[in-house]
Chains A and B, each alone.
Chain A
Amino acid sequence: ETAVFQTPNYHVTQVGNEVSFNCKQTLGHDTMYWYKQDSKKLLKIMFSYNNKQLIVNETVPRRFSPQSSDKAHLNLRIKSVEPEDSAVYLCASSWGTGGYTQYFGPGTRLLVL
């Protein structure tokens, strides 16, 4: 049963445009994450957000920013997309870190032309 929802499923855009992806979890979790999965299927964590504390992977370009209205939502904004941003973006949530199971959404596939 899906409990982490992502929209859109798929998005095609041009270099330089701004995009925003939505993520909502209905599990009552207090920690949410954004991951990027590249064409080689390698998953890398981008952000984690817990009780208004944001932890950023230092390799994430500044054009990426997470946006949260409440603990059930963590959106991802890309200010000016680049070709290398083409990937699948996965959102996840958990009760916390250090041993809590993460629940993933279905992902948003981004194609930058």
Chain B
Amino acid sequence: GQQVQQSPASLVLQEGENAELQCNFSTSLNSMQWFYQRPGGSLVSLFYNPSGTKQSGRLTSTTVIKERRSSLHISSSQTTDSGTYLCAMEPGYQNFYFGKGTSLTVIP
């Protein structure tokens, strides 16, 4: 079965609104990462966050290991935030599982 579940599958926001993206894991994990994929582009790593809370600008990632979940909060969204957000977990050595992603569209 799917190791990584992401929700929502897609999200449309008005510019300035906040977004909360969720990632749930079916097994215990060594590490997890959040990535951003531009439309038609490559992936950019946003956070490595196996536990706790990390913040970078308008982005905040919170991982709760014992509950096997991680969230990505985007505050004051901008049109340039549009794209796909992917989470990935590493349950063991050099073995990664990605979620299907959340497609975010921010309209002006």
Please give the residue numbers on chain A whose beta carbons come within 8 Å of chain B beta carbons, in ascending order: 31, 33, 40-45, 48, 50, 55, 57, 90, 92, 97-107
Q: Which of B45, B96, B100 contacts A40 (CB 8 A)?
A: B100
Known contacts A42-B98, A42-B100; A98/B42 CB under 8 A: no
A100 touches B44 (CB 8 A): no
Chain B interface residue count, CB cutoff 8 Å, equals: 24
Q: Is B18 close to A, CB under 8 A?
A: no
B98 touches A102 (CB 8 A): no
Whole-angstrom CA separation of A99 from B47 in the bound complex: 10
Q: Name which residue of chain B comes closest to A102, CB basis.
A: B45
Which segment, of B19-27, B54-62, B69-77, B86-94, faces chain A? Answer: B86-94
Interface residues of B in 6-41 (CB under 8 A from A): 30-31, 33, 35, 37, 41
Q: Name which residue of chain A comes closest to B101, CB basis.
A: A41
A101 touches B41 (CB 8 A): no
